[in-house]
A and B are shown apart, each in its own frame.
Chain A
Amino acid sequence: MAARIQIPREARRGEVIEVRILIQHPMETGYRHDDVGHLIRRNVINVLSCRYNGVEVFRADLSSGISANPYVQFYTVAEASGDLEFTWIDDEGERGSERQSIVVKG
């Protein structure tokens, strides 16, 4: 599962930073039928979590109402240099992860 993360490369200590993530995923709703009438099983990313130097700073429980290729944006406070690590898991148990580092000055 491909994903894109966007955070500032550098920030001042205490600065509020914008975090954006875009994950490639079909987010199959579970309400659709295929060409021969069989229900297509639900397969959505159900948990998306972001850890900043090991501490969870954001968590979202996604469901059928979220469009394909979900885009999530939130804010956090730059406290120390290190990594923001995203992990997610879908209904079929497939896991994805992506990380990006940030340098915090001052």
Chain B
Amino acid sequence: MLWLGVAYLGALAALFVTSLWTVDGFTGVITREWTLQNFRDLATIEVYRSITFRTVLTAAAVTVIDIVIAFPIALYMAKVASPRLQRILVIAVLTPLWASYLVKAYAWRGMLSETGPLSWLARPFGLDSPGYGLAATVITLSYLWLPYMILPMYAGLERLPNSLLEASADLGAATGMTMRRIVLPVLFPAAVAGSIFTFSLTLGDYIAVKIVGGANQMLGNVVYDNFLTGNNMPFAAAVSTIPVVIMLVYLTAVRRTGALENL
């Protein structure tokens, strides 16, 4: 407990403090002077604004795509499949989670390459693989985080008793009505719980972007480049407060839906 408290929160607090310092341009040594310069740079320099915007947009797109794909699968698993098939499907969804993240991103590099299977499949239709870029990043990230969305949705639907659905039908509600009044209220907190993962994981990702994203940059790349190649820890720290703030706002916003208990 102390470890988490001191090590993690302390590190976060220290990170924030560091973001208020600056680096001496000549010696590369951190100067411990209080300044808001890093944040001023973040707010005024155009590049950082567009990177932040792109990152949040990507995270939102990934979340929406995952919700759309996960819903029919979760519904099928929970309400249509036989118990035996259900067990098999859960394993089938879970197994890729154990495969390395890097390997999966790498696998998509192969899928999307010029000579890869996707362009081979698409060519007869006069199309081409999207190539490496923002679209490829969204595809890869949706792929990577899909199980995190399927599982909470499946768990939510699983808990919903069939008798409730039957009762709704008996009372004269059409399928659409039942969906809206019974299934959706259960599904919403589950989707929110899943979105915490898809959103946060996307916000911090910079490896997948490097592998399939072409020249595109995300917030994570800015943090990493400033930390490692730029040797500018204070600025990297300032950039990394952006995803923290976004996630904190998001968590507070969704706390009322009861999604946090579903984690």
Asked if A and B bind, the verdict is no
